Amino acid sequence: MTSPVIDLRSDTVTLPTPAMMAAVASAVLGDDVYREDPTVNRLEGRVAEVLGKEDALFVPSGTMGNLCAILSHGARGTRVVVGAQTHIYLFEAGGASALGGLVLHPIANTDDGGFDPAELADALESPDDTHVAPAGMLALENTHNRCGGVVLDAARVGAYAAAAHAHGLPLHVDGARLFNAAVALAVSARSLVAAADSVQVCFSKGLAAPAGSVLAGTTAFVHRARRARKMLGGGMRQAGVLAAACLVALDTMVERLADDHARARRLAAALADAIDPRVHSVATPASNIVLLRAASEGVSIEPLVPALAALGVRVGTFGPRRLRAVMHAGIDDAAVERAIVAFRRVLAEHGAGGRSPSP
């Protein structure tokens, strides 16, 4: 019998649980564009409460949630100050510029997912110069995907919020994996975004719902975001069929994220023990994302990907020098051990392992 594929490309490959499917089948529905879907209304109320915000809005995806926030905070021709390694800048098709007329202004991310204070201060300035687009808002990502699932604590988020507010600018948090951050730090999600003006959380990654994100902020902000959602085609009518699964995810899938984090640490520790440090490096994960990095410019990680796939392990890459493995609800301890065996074999066969592969 062929062993099932171990898919570590992303936590977006999760499948809904039986409890989610049962909730979908029995969801009480209405027209959400008229604000008459009771299941959507319940989810929005729950998320607003959990995050400590006045109101919330259900949207199809995290990308739409972020874009609704940008369109609601920023004015055309202003700058969205954002990390150069963030999802908003790299993976959202330039929507802020193409659809909103805003300028994405990337600044370098530090390894912990934050910013250099001096570079941030310069970016938030709006010189009295007609040549320069004024700053309009600041956006963070927490956890930070391309930095390896690293986590910003409440003090760091608060410091960035204070820097933005000092210039009269709002702070938006792309919290697609915010619950991973909260579990990793053993704090409430609310505490991590207390200083933020808006936050987007995603249910279709580690929380394993089939689709859906929620954008939260003040009542006035959500009112503007609701109009933006309509403009973007995000009014979904009987959207309670999705919101029902998200409610189950909120109730049942948050605490188990700690298992994903432990399995990520297990994989990273095994890789650290197996690699040749002259060729690759791996850090202890802060949450559910493991990054295997090439140690020098002359080393490419890409040949490992098809070799692992041939052994039944799917992984992703961030360019030619970083390999990503993501833990999620579809990966158990046995799958991690199988992945470790495959990694050891592939690393040894490519001359990148420090030890011989396990049998």
pLDDT category at 109 given cuts 50, 70, 90 is: very high
Q: In which residue are the tokens 């991973």 written? A: 180
CA count, 13 A, side-chain hemisphere, 165: 9
pTM value > 0.75: yes
Q: What is the pLDDT of residue 249?
A: 98
Mean confidence (pLDDT) of the chain: 95
Q: What is the pLDDT of residue 267?
A: 98
What is the C-alpha to C-alpha distance for residues 39 and 41, in angstroms, rounded to an integer? 5
More confident residue, 283 or 353: 283
Q: What is the pLDDT of residue 45?
A: 98
pLDDT digits (tens, 9 = 90+) for 250-281: 999 999 999 999 999 999 999 999 998 989 99
Which own/partner contact pairs does 84-88 have at CB distance under 8 Å and 24+ positions apart?
84/108, 84/109, 85/109, 85/144, 85/146, 85/147, 86/139, 86/140, 86/141, 86/144, 86/146, 86/174, 87/62, 87/63, 87/141, 87/145, 87/174, 87/176, 88/139, 88/141, 88/174
What is the C-alpha to C-alpha distance for residues 73 and 226, in angstroms, rounded to an integer? 13
Asked whether the beta carbons of 115 and 83 are under 8 A apart, the reply is yes
Q: Which helix (H) or strand (E) holds 67?
A: helix 62-73
43: left (phi over 0), alpha (psi -120 to 50) or beta: alpha
Q: What is the pLDDT of residue 351?
A: 72
pLDDT digits (tens, 9 = 90+) for 278-329: 899 999 999 999 999 998 888 899 999 999 999 999 999 999 999 999 999 9
Domain boundary assignment for the chain? 18-252, 256-349
Asked whether the beta carbons of 6 and 338 are under 8 A apart, the reply is yes
Is the alpha carbon torsion for 244, 144, 268, 12 positive or negative? positive
pLDDT category at 2 given cuts 50, 70, 90 is: low
φ, ψ for residue 325, nearest 5 deg: -125, 125
What is the C-alpha to C-alpha distance for residues 144 and 151, in angstroms, rounded to an integer? 7
Is a pLDDT exceeding 90 seen at residue 5?
yes
Asked whether the beta carbons of 140 and 171 are under 8 A apart, the reply is yes
CATH code for residues 18-252: 3.40.640.10
User: Hey, is 343 helix, strand or coil?
Assistant: helix
More confident residue, 5 or 353: 5
Cα 162 to chain centroid, rounded: 23
Q: What is the pLDDT of residue 356?
A: 42
Type of residue found at 285: P
Which residue from 139, 164, 155, 9 is spatially nearest to 84, judged by alpha carbons? Answer: 139
Q: What is the pLDDT of residue 35?
A: 97
Q: What is the pLDDT of residue 354?
A: 56
pLDDT digits (tens, 9 = 90+) for 184-242: 999 999 999 999 999 999 999 999 999 999 999 999 999 999 999 999 999 999 999 99
What residues have CB less than 8 Å from 319, skipping those under 6 apart?
A: none
The mean pLDDT of 88-109, rounded to a whole number, is 97
The mean pLDDT of 6-27, rounded to a whole number, is 98
Sheet containing 289-294: give its strands across.
280-282, 289-294, 322-326, 316-317
Q: What is the pLDDT of residue 359?
A: 40
pLDDT category at 357 given cuts 50, 70, 90 is: very low
Say what angle helices 257-274 and 333-349 make with each other, to 10 degrees.
Answer: 20
CATH code for residues 256-349: 3.90.1150.10
